[in-house]
Structure 1
Amino acid sequence: MTSDPDRSARPAASMPLEAAEGVTGAPPRAKRRGAGRDLPAAILVGLGLGAALLASLFVVPQAFPVLVAVTMVLAVLELTRALAQGGLRVAAMPLLVGVIGMVVSTVVFEVEGLLVSTAVAVCVLIVWRASESMGLTALRDVAGGVFALAWVSFLGCFTLLLFGLDQGPLLVLLAVLGPVGNDVGGYVSGVLFGSHPMAPGISPKKSWEGFAGSLILGTAAVTAVGSFGLGLPWWTGVILGVVLVIVSTCGDLAESLLKRDLGIKDMGHLLPGHGGVLDRVDSVLLAAPTTYVMLEVLLP
C-alpha cells in the first residue's frame, strides 16, 4: 500500500544493480521521468487492493482478520525466500504457524495475546531450528526468523489492535492513509519535480521534492479522516500525518536497503506494477504501531 519510486524503474537483469540505478550519483532527470513502471497495471492493482481493504473494514468486518492473516502469510513467505538469497535458512513452517497463532491471539486476547503468542512463536522457532543442527549458522538462521516474526507478524498485528478499538475501521484507515499519501504524493511529486536525491546510496529514485509531496498529501489525508471521520482535533491529524509520512518513508528506505544488501530488486512478483506483497505493506507495518502509540499519547 505504499510506493517506493526505487521500484518503478528496474535495471535489466544483465546489468549490475548499483550501475543500473546510479548509486554513485543522482540519475538524470530525464531517466526519472521515463520510469519503466507498468503504471496502468499498478493503478488497477492498487484500486483492487484498496477495494478489498475497504470491503473488509466496512462491509464484511469479519473478513478483516482473515485479510491480515493472508497478507502476513504471503509477506513472510516472500521474506524467507529473500533471506535465503543472503544465505539464511529460515524455516517457513514455524513462521507460518506463528503468524496464524499471533493473529488469533490478538483478535481474542488483544495486547496480552499478542505479547504471549509472540514469545511462544519465538520459542518454537528456536526449538525447531535447534532440532536440526546447532552452531553459528543455526544462530544466524534463528536471528533471521525472529526478524521475520518481529517485522511482519508482530508489527502487522497492530492493525488488529487498532481494529478492536472504538471506531476501529476508521482507525485502521487512518493508519493506512499515511503510507498511501506518502506513496501517491511522493511518486507524483518526484516524477514531476524530483531533482535532489534524498538517499542516493539506498534508493536513488527518492527525492526531497517527492518527500515534500508525500508530506502534503499524506498529512492532508490523515487530517481529513481524523477530523471529519473520527472527530479528532485538527492539530492531532496534522501531527499524526507528519509522523506517519516520516515513518512510512523510513519503512520504504529500510526495505530498499535490505533488498540492496540481499541483491534483489523486489521481494516478490505477485502484484503487477508493485512487486511483492511485502513491497506494498512495508510502510504499513511501521505506520500501524505508530498510529496506535501516537493516539495513546495524544488522546489518552
Structure 2
Amino acid sequence: MSDVPAGELPETEKPVTGHGRAGRNLKAAIGVGVGLVGLVLASLLIWRAAFVGLVVAAMLVGVVELTRALRAGAFRAPLVPLLVGVPAMLVLAWTRGPTGLVTGFLVTVLAVLLWRLGDGPAGYLRDASAGVFVALYVPLLAGFAVLLAVPDDGVARVLAFIATVVCSDVGGYAAGVLFGKHPMAPSISPKKSWEGMAGSVLACVVVGVCLFTFTFHEPWWGGVVFGVALALSATIGDLGESLIKRDLGIKDMGNLLPGHGGIMDRLDSLLPSAAVAYLLLSLLAPV
C-alpha cells in the first residue's frame, strides 16, 4: 500500500530531485496516500455501507487495469462478466456473508467461462483461466475486506487490517533503507531485503499486540500471530504482483494515482492480507 515496496535496499545512485529511492515522486505519493486513507476513514465512520461502495468502485478500476495489463501477455480475460461480478460478489458479501461471497464468485466464474465461448475455441483455456484468475485475485479477496466491516465492531476490524499492512510497508521500507544488505528475491524485486522483512514483522507485531490488547481486549499473543501473518501476507502479495508485472514486461498496472501507479499497484499487499485478517480475527477475536 505504501509508495515504496516494503524492505527495499537503498540505491547507490543519487535519486532524482523530488523522487524517492524507488524512483517515485514521494510528495505526490504521500499526498495521494493521505487522501486515500481519508476517503476510507470517512466512508467507515460516516456510513459503513459507503465503504462497500468505495471497495466496489476500486475493484471495478482494478479489474479493468488487470485485464488490460494481462493483454501484454496475450491473455484476453472476458471483461464484461467480471465487471458485473464485482458488485454482485461484494454486495452479496455485505448482505449474505461468506456464503454470499462464495456464491457470487462461483456465478462469476461460470459467467466468464460461458462468455468466452462466444469467441471460439482458439485460446479458450488461456483466456478463461485469465478471467478466473482476475475474479479470484481482485473481487474475491476484496470481499474479505467487506466481510471485516459487517460486524458491529467492523470499523475497528477494517482499520486494524489496513493499519497493520501500512505498518508492514513503512517498517519494511525504513529497515531496508537503514540496514538492508541481503536481497530477498533479487530476480523478482531486487530492492527487497531480508532486513526489510524483519522490519516489517517487527512493526506489524508491535501494532498487532496493541490492537489485540487495547481494541479487541484479547490476549497479547494473538496480536503477535496477527502481526507476523499480515507481514508475511503483505510481502507475498507485493512479491506476487511484482512477479506478474515482470512476466508481462510492465512497470505499473496503471497510471491513475500520481506517484503510485494504478489502483492495483496499491492493492498488492492489501488484497491477500484482507483474507488473512478476516480468518485470523474470526478465530482470535471472535464477535
Q: TM-score, normalised by structure 2?
A: 0.92
Counterpart of 2:74? 87
Specify whether residues 50 and 184 from structure 1 end up closer, same or farther in structure 2 by C-alpha distance, changes over 3 A only.
same
Q: Distance in 2 between matches of 1:6 and 1:87?
A: 30
Q: Corresponding residue for 1:167?
A: 153
1:59-113 deviation digits (Å, cap 9, x = unpaired): 2322101011011111111100110000011121111000011112111111111
1:149 to 135, 152, 170: 135
Identify the match of residue 118 of structure 2 among 122, 126, 131.
131
Q: Distance in 1 between matches of 2:207 and 2:220?
A: 12
Deviation at 1:117, TM superposition (A): 1.1
CA displacement at 1:222 relative to structure 2: 2.6
Shift of 1:214: 1.2
Report the more deviating stretch, 267-276 or 184-193: 184-193
The match for 1:229 is: 215
Give the SS at the match of 1:204. strand
- The answer on whether the counterparts of 1:174 and 1:226 sit within 8 Å (CA) in structure 2 is no
Q: Which moved more, 1:221-230 or 1:79-88?
A: 221-230
Query: Is the 1:2–1:283 Cα contact (8 Å) retained in structure 2?
Result: no
User: RMSD of the alignment, in Å?
Assistant: 2.1
CA displacement at 1:3 relative to structure 2: 4.8
CA–CA distance in structure 1, aligned partners of residues 130 and 50 of structure 2 = 30
Partner of 2:237: 251
How far apart are the structure 2 equivalents of 1:211 and 1:176?
18
User: Which runs of no fewer than 5 residues in structure 1 stay unpaired?
Assistant: 9-25
* CA positional deviation for 1:4: 4.5
Write the distance in 1 (CA, Å) between the matches of 2:270 and 2:88: 21
TM-score, normalised by the number of residues in structure 1 = 0.88
Q: State whether residues 6 and 170 of structure 2, in contact with CA within 8 Å, keep that contact through their aligned partners in structure 1.
A: no
Map of 1:65 onto structure 2: 52
Alignment of 1:262-273 (within 5 A): 262-273=248-259
Distance change (3 Å), C-alpha of 1:216 and 1:7: closer
Distance between the aligned counterparts of 1:230 and 1:55, measured in 2?
A: 22
Distance 1:7 1:211, change over 3 A: closer
Question: Deviation of residue 221 (structure 1)?
Answer: 2.1
Q: Specify whether residues 34 and 166 from structure 1 end up closer, same or farther in structure 2 by C-alpha distance, changes over 3 A only.
A: closer
2:172 aligned residue (174, 186, 189): 186
Aligned to 2:65: 78
* 1:42 alignment counterpart: 29
Distance 1:28 1:143 in 2: 38
CA distance in 2, matches of 1:100, 1:141: 22
Give the percent of matched residue pairs that are identical in Structure 1 and Structure 2.
Answer: 47
Distance 1:128 1:225, change over 3 A: same
Q: Which moved more, 1:232-241 or 1:289-298?
A: 289-298
Q: CA–CA distance in 2 between the matches of 1:82 and 1:114?
A: 25
Alignment-derived partner of residue 201 in structure 2 = 215
- Distance 1:38-1:128 versus aligned 2 partners, 3 A rule: same
Q: Contact 2:167 / 2:204 at 8 angstroms: preserved in 1?
A: yes
One-letter identity of the residue aligned with 2:117: A
* Distance apart, 1:299 and its partner CA: 4.4
How many pairs does the alignment contain? 282
Structure 2 counterpart of 1:273, one-letter code: G
Give the direction of change, closer, same or farther, for the CA distance of 1:42–1:128 in structure 2 (3 Å limit): same
Q: Deviations over 1:122-156 (max 9, x none)?
A: 11111111022123x01110000000000101111
Q: Shift in Å at residue 31 of structure 1?
A: 6.2
- Secondary structure of 2:268's counterpart equals helix
Q: Alignment partner for residue 225 of structure 2, among 208, 214, 239? A: 239
Could you tell me how far apart the structure 2 residues matched to 1:277 and 1:138 are? 28
* Range moving further from structure 2, 236-245 or 191-200: 191-200
- Quick check: 1:197 aligned with 2:171? no
User: Could you say which residue in structure 1 is the equivalent of 2:284?
Assistant: 298
CA contact (8 A) 1:125 1:142 kept: yes
Tell me the equivalent position of 1:110: 97
